[in-house]
Amino acid sequence: MSDGNDVANVLRGGIATGVGSWPGTDAREAAATVVGELGELPHLVELPGRGVGADMIGRVSALLVDMRFDGTTRGYRLAVRPGAVARRAHDLLRTDLDALEEAWETAGFAGTGRVVKVQVAGPLSLAAEVELPMGHRVLTDPGAVRDLSESLAEGLSNHVAEVGKRLGAEVLVQLDEPLLTQVLEGSLRGVSVMNTVRAMPEPEALHILDSVINAQSGPVLVHTCADSPALGFLRRSAAAAVGFDMATIKTPDLDRIGELIDDGKYVALGLVPTTAPAKPITWREVAEPGVRLIDRLGLRRRLLAEQVLVSPACGLAGAPLSWAREALKLAGETARIYADEPESIDFE
Is 326 in a helix, a strand, or coil? helix
Q: Which pLDDT score is estimated for 190?
A: 81
Q: Which pLDDT score is estimated for 21?
A: 97
Compute the distance between CA of residue 109 and CA of residue 343 in angstroms, rounded to an integer. Answer: 32
Positive or negative, the Cα torsion across 33, 38, 44, 45? negative
∠ Cα 299 171 323 (to 5°)? 70
Compute the distance between CA of residue 49 and CA of residue 26 in angstroms, rounded to an integer. Answer: 10
Element (H, E) at 208: helix 202-213
Q: Are 116 and 167 in contact (CB under 8 A)?
A: yes
Q: Are 149 and 212 in contact (CB under 8 A)?
A: yes
Q: Which pLDDT score is estimated for 134?
A: 87
Q: Which amino acid, 152?
A: L
Q: Using alpha carbons only, how large is the chain's radius of gyration in Å? A: 19
- CATH number belonging to the domain at 25-266, selected among 3.10.20.600, 3.50.50.60, 3.40.50.300, 3.20.20.210: 3.20.20.210
CA dihedral 297, 10, 39, 258 (to 10 degrees): -10
Q: Which amino acid, 109?
A: F
- The two beta strands, 68-71 and 76-79, are antiparallel
- State in Å, rounded, how far the first CA of the chain is from the last one: 44
Q: Where are the domains of the chain?
A: 25-266
Q: Which pLDDT score is estimated for 193?
A: 60
pLDDT, one tens digit for every residue, the chain (348 residues): 455 557 878 999 999 999 999 999 999 999 999 999 999 999 999 999 999 999 999 999 999 999 999 998 889 999 988 789 999 999 999 999 999 999 999 999 998 999 999 999 999 999 999 999 988 999 999 999 999 999 999 999 999 999 999 999 999 999 999 999 999 999 998 876 666 789 999 999 999 999 999 999 999 999 999 999 999 999 999 999 999 999 999 999 999 999 999 999 999 999 999 999 999 999 999 999 999 999 999 999 999 999 999 999 999 999 999 999 999 999 999 999 999 977 777 766
Look up the pTM and report it. Answer: 0.95
Question: What size, in residues, is the chain?
Answer: 348
Q: Which pLDDT score is estimated for 149?
A: 98
